[in-house]
Structure 1
Amino acid sequence: MAYEFRLPDIGEGLHEAEVLQWFVKVGEDIQADQPVVEVQTDKAAVEIASPVGGRVVSLGGQVGETIKVGDVLIAVDTVSQAMASTDQGASAHQMRLETATSTMALEPQTTVANPDAAPTPTPTPTPTPTPAAAAAAAPAPAPAPAQAGPARKVLAAPAVRKLAHDLGVQLNAIVPSDPSGRVTRADVERAAKLLVQHSESASLPAAAAPTVLKAGSVAGSQALAGPAAQQTASPAQSQQAPATGQAPSHPAQSPEAAPVQPQVLTPAQATNPDQAPAQAASPSAAMAQTQVSPQPLSMSGEPHVAASDRREPIRGLRKRIYQNMTKSMYTAPQTTGMDDLDATRLVELRQRLLPFAEARGIKLTYLPIVIKAVTHVLREYPIFNASVDDEAMEVVYKGAVNIGIATATSDGLLVPVIRDADKKSVFEIARELENLTARGRERKLELSELTGSTFTITSTGANGGWFATPIINHPEVAILGVHSIAKRAVVLDDDSIVAQQRMSFSLTFDHRIIDGEPAGRFMVRFKEYLENPELLLAL
């Protein structure tokens, strides 16, 4: 009986996962602890290994399908692996016997004549063997030795595996260029180029067996017309072309002698093959029909699809973002407050700290200082460091201050988490932030590094605009957006106009449990800390 490996609980409260790609197929022999599938959870792409070895009997779902925790992920016949060594030994022995037998059967038989008898040579015409006889007389090739041993475990990042899946490249066929044995993105791209070159060379006429095609023949017309015209040829036409490449017995016709008359199809005939007239008997008519494209039915009520349109399935990380954003907007009534602050002292503080950060190998941006300021505000107003238990109708105040940082990647938005940010210095936050965001863009983060946030900050960067309305990272109750710092004209109390470094920010909050008044107090205190960043050193 096959061993059924069920999808385990691989995260905090995660109850399902989407299949991104299978590393094995039905009938393949696998080893224990060999990765068999990559799945997308709410937070990250995760590789799952089989706890047992054997032969794959069935897979729990197709790529793009969702499997719930506890459902069968993969079924493995463990008995087949136990018998594998015995079968390999018996197969090798049988192969040696067959090879020896075939060798003996193909040895020429030698007859020793009487040396005293005078031979009388009689010229005998040597018959020309027919192709069938030549094929029968040819020695059978020796069977290739069976490849034994376990399949190589491929080391590759989830992003590299996804790229290989999208490009149709088999990872286990790639020889890694990295000394550690890990397949890199460059390895996959090189393999994809080789596949393209191979397919292009294989599709050239010179790569096929030499075939003489005369003008006017069915086979010649189809070869010139390409695959589209070949598909329109009827079975009767296909049978008229000899398999050996010889021209048919009927005389060839010149293209000038019979001008092509394109056949005009009505919209109903173009969209319904059953209503279309029978294919023309001549190849030229078949070629003409392939040039007629179906016309859109404007009165059918169906949406018009242009030839340039392209459809792409929503899968993986993008599917999770799709679901989480929808759930957030439909669950919590969200309101955004906006303001800006004087960032003059913030800019000066960062400039003073930069040499010390560089000496320690730390990349210091404004964000670590912003994070440190937020941790102080959250301690003062804990309602923003909370979540809602909808079923129990309770507000859950979080004991830890874990700051999620929205990070853009090529596949979508990730939120790596800086845990216990309130207990870390600005330099410690900066070092961890750089590490998390770099590995997040490479999709190398662990699931534990993407879960457990209690409050999220999103930064639109230097070129991100003046204001935005960020969406809450459900089930949190608030999110802070910080935007670009730039010089702007400001009117002072004495009505003078000066150029000042200003930074805008946005606070989106769950209006079910947070009102405008506490949101205003949060924004005032946050503004106070950043306009006077020395306070962060005193608290």
Structure 2
Amino acid sequence: MKDFILPDIGEGIVECELLAWLVSEGDIIVEDQPVAEVMTDKATVQIPAMYSGKVQKLYYQTGEIAQVHKPLFAMDIDTKGDDIRAADTLELGSNEVLAAQTDSAKKNSPVLSEHPNKTHVHSRHIETFILPDIGEGIVECELVKWLVSEGDEIVEDQPVVEVMTDKALVEIPAKYSGTVVSLCYQQGEIAKVHSALFTMQVTEDIRENGVIKSNVSSPISPANKEQKGQTDNQDTRAVTHSGLNSNHKVLASPAVRRVAREQNIELSQVHGSGEKGRILKCDLVQKPVDDAKACTTSEVTSRTNPGQTRVERISGIKAAMAKQMVNSVSTIPHFTVSEEIQMDALMALRAQLKDDFTAQGVKLSFMPFFIKAMSMALKAFPVINSQVNKDCTELTYFHDHNIGMAVDGKFGLLVPNIKGVQDMSLLEIAIRASELIEQARQGRLKTSDLTGGTISISNIGVLGGTVATPVINHPEAAIVALGKIQRLPRFDENDQVRPVNIMHVSWSGDHRIIDGATMVRFNNLWKSYIEQPMTMLSTMR
């Protein structure tokens, strides 16, 4: 008799309420069959059996609190034959066929004879990949792109799917090597953390000292391949011809059961296309039988009816931006200061340095100059590089100048920041800025690149904008919007009209801690460094 230990259900969860037992003492159960339904403080979860066998004792009653890492129930594991699938074949009435094939496979298997201390668990089994915690506070993400298809062979740590959270684009790698069986979400759908993401057929495993290791390097002889193919075909035929068994427990993940409840679908009447008849999400969608890619294809219907509307979910980075902007304008009293900056001297200096930077593989833009000038001005006005707490009772001054740049990225507006600008040279800033901009446009920024900023720059000029009233990137205290450079007529000191390259800038500040006079003085210093860049270079550290 073996105790089943209640596993980790989610980060930080140490106990759960037992809602219902799905089996009784004395029942015969199979691997992956749901045994109990428990409720945490976040969701209702079904606990599947890890092995096939007979339930001997249930340690909790319905309504009691079960502890994580404590025994949930006890069972006698079915150990007949080295291949646990023999238990499934007994139910299908083909024990004699599989036993003969298993005996034959044993004779041809060098792996079992060479490892007397190892217990063979199963030559192949279905593993459900659960979407893990991606980051603090993230409970769902949008599935952007599948990097594999059903039937593909994958290896451990190979990227399988790209998902987008409200912070960044993340690649999810495979935990094991094997074959992809089914994809549980379509591109564009919202995947919940701790729900089934995909299922895969894991390659041969060996249990050694209680640890499962993937035996991907063991060669398989042609005879073994042929024998394995016959066994697989026999299993497939047995499951296919078995049809729906009303006495058999339904195999389905919690996410599938939730969808079934929402759509009023009786799972016992659904034929599962997964291993051992497991019901997948695609099995709940009523589509023609010849739609072989029901789980992975997304069909978009285009109509031209007058008055037609289209509803699109706001999710991922767009949703994060919406919340951030609402939080900023509702909690920070904004005020704006505008000014014109003459760019002629800086344009001349950039032209002189451009070839030197190009020789080092860096494209020099105006942005590194703006960023470095801002950092030098912040040393004289540290309040601009501070943040106030929620109750407006404390002010935190930051030593590091972590200057952000608003980038029109692949999935929306992102504001990555360059850390520690005060200690960087123009070349280092240019290199880092290029890296962040490229990563933002590809949607591959790290969470650390998007957090920890102390002040931001929004360059609307690259898109042709002239004037803007920027919204502060909460919880920062200030942001500046840069307009496009225009060649405009201006009077010189002799009252003569001459053409000048002008850039319009607009500052927004947190009026709780920054007054208008301080903002103007700060802007004047920053402006002087840009209009007289040689002064900036002479005092740069």
TM-score by length of 2: 0.53
The answer to whether the Cα contact below 8 Å between 1:29 and 1:56 also exists between their aligned partners in 2 is no
The code of the aligned residue for 2:141 comes to E
| 1:486–1:59 distance in 2 versus 1, CA, 3 Å | same
| 1:90–1:398 distance in 2 versus 1, CA, 3 Å | same
The code of the aligned residue for 1:72 comes to H
| 1:52–1:530 distance in 2 versus 1, CA, 3 Å | same
CA deviation digits over 1:266-303, x for unaligned, max 9?
xxxxxxxxxxxxxxxxxxxxxxxxxxx9xxxxxxxxxx
> Offset at 1:512?
1.9
Tell me, in whole angstroms, the C-alpha distance in 2 between the residues paired with 1:426 and 1:37. Answer: 37
Q: Which residue of 2 aligns with 1:450?
A: 450
Q: Which residue of 2 aligns with 1:427?
A: 427
Tell me, in whole angstroms, the C-alpha distance in 2 between the residues paired with 1:446 and 1:521. Answer: 35
- In structure 2, stretches of 5+ residues that fail to align are 12-130, 207-214, 216-223, 238-273, 276-290
CA deviation digits over 1:223-258, x for unaligned, max 9?
xxxxxxxxxxxxxxxxxxxxxxxxxxxxxxxxxxxx
Q: Which residue of 2 aligns with 1:18?
A: 141
> Offset at 1:522?
1.1
Q: Which residue of 1 aligns with 2:170?
A: 46
> Offset at 1:365?
1.2
| 1:393–1:408 distance in 2 versus 1, CA, 3 Å | same
Pairing 1:530–2:526 present: no
Q: Which residue of 2 aligns with 1:497?
A: 497
The answer to whether the Cα contact below 8 Å between 1:345 and 1:533 also exists between their aligned partners in 2 is yes
> Offset at 1:501?
1.8
Task: Please identify, of 15-24 and 48-57, the stretch whose mean Cα deviation from structure 2 is larger.
Answer: 48-57
Tell me, in whole angstroms, the C-alpha distance in 2 between the residues paired with 1:336 and 1:392. Answer: 20
CA deviation digits over 1:86-121, x for unaligned, max 9?
9x978834857999xxxxxxxxxxxxxxxxxxxxxx
> Offset at 1:43?
2.2
| 1:481–1:30 distance in 2 versus 1, CA, 3 Å | same
- In structure 1, stretches of 5+ residues that fail to align are 100-145, 148-167, 174-190, 200-292, 294-304
The code of the aligned residue for 1:450 comes to L
The answer to whether the Cα contact below 8 Å between 2:484 and 2:503 also exists between their aligned partners in 1 is yes
Tell me, in whole angstroms, the C-alpha distance in 1 between the residues paired with 2:199 and 2:510. Answer: 51
Pairing 1:464–2:464 present: yes
The answer to whether the Cα contact below 8 Å between 2:156 and 2:175 also exists between their aligned partners in 1 is yes
Pairing 1:520–2:520 present: yes
> Offset at 1:524?
1.0
The answer to whether the Cα contact below 8 Å between 2:141 and 2:166 also exists between their aligned partners in 1 is no
> Offset at 1:465?
3.1
| 1:412–1:76 distance in 2 versus 1, CA, 3 Å | closer
Max radius of gyration: which structure? 1
Q: Which residue of 1 aligns with 2:194?
A: 72
CA deviation digits over 1:351-382, x for unaligned, max 9?
11122222222211111111110111112212
| 1:53–1:72 distance in 2 versus 1, CA, 3 Å | farther
Pairing 1:388–2:388 present: yes
> Offset at 1:416?
2.2
> Offset at 1:463?
5.2
> Offset at 1:504?
1.3
| 1:534–1:377 distance in 2 versus 1, CA, 3 Å | same
The answer to whether the Cα contact below 8 Å between 1:43 and 1:451 also exists between their aligned partners in 2 is no
The answer to whether the Cα contact below 8 Å between 2:166 and 2:316 also exists between their aligned partners in 1 is no
> Offset at 1:468?
1.0
Tell me, in whole angstroms, the C-alpha distance in 1 between the residues paired with 2:375 and 2:411. Answer: 29
| 1:315–1:537 distance in 2 versus 1, CA, 3 Å | same
The code of the aligned residue for 2:329 comes to M
Matches of residues 88-237 of structure 1 in structure 2 within 5 Å?
92-93=230-231, 95=233
Tell me, in whole angstroms, the C-alpha distance in 2 between the residues paired with 1:388 and 1:51. Answer: 43
**Identity rate of aligned residues, in percent?**
31
CA deviation digits over 1:132-184, x for unaligned, max 9?
xxxxxxxxxxxxxx99xxxxxxxxxxxxxxxxxxxx998x99xxxxxxxxxxx
3-state SS in 1 of match to 2:530: helix
TM-score by length of 1: 0.53
Matches of residues 251-290 of structure 1 in structure 2 within 5 Å?
none
Q: Which residue of 2 aligns with 1:411?
A: 411
3-state SS in 2 of match to 1:354: helix
3-state SS in 2 of match to 1:479: strand
Tell me, in whole angstroms, the C-alpha distance in 2 between the residues paired with 1:362 and 1:417. Answer: 19
> Offset at 1:81?
8.2
Tell me, in whole angstroms, the C-alpha distance in 2 between the residues paired with 1:320 and 1:97. Answer: 48
| 1:510–1:78 distance in 2 versus 1, CA, 3 Å | same
> Offset at 1:75?
9.0
The answer to whether the Cα contact below 8 Å between 1:31 and 1:53 also exists between their aligned partners in 2 is yes
> Offset at 1:466?
2.5
Q: Which residue of 2 aligns with 1:334?
A: 334
| 1:364–1:82 distance in 2 versus 1, CA, 3 Å | closer
3-state SS in 2 of match to 1:474: coil
Tell me, in whole angstroms, the C-alpha distance in 2 between the residues paired with 1:413 and 1:460. Answer: 12
Q: Which residue of 2 aligns with 1:103?
A: none
The code of the aligned residue for 2:169 comes to A
Residues matched between the structures, number: 343
The code of the aligned residue for 1:529 comes to Y
Higher helix share: 1
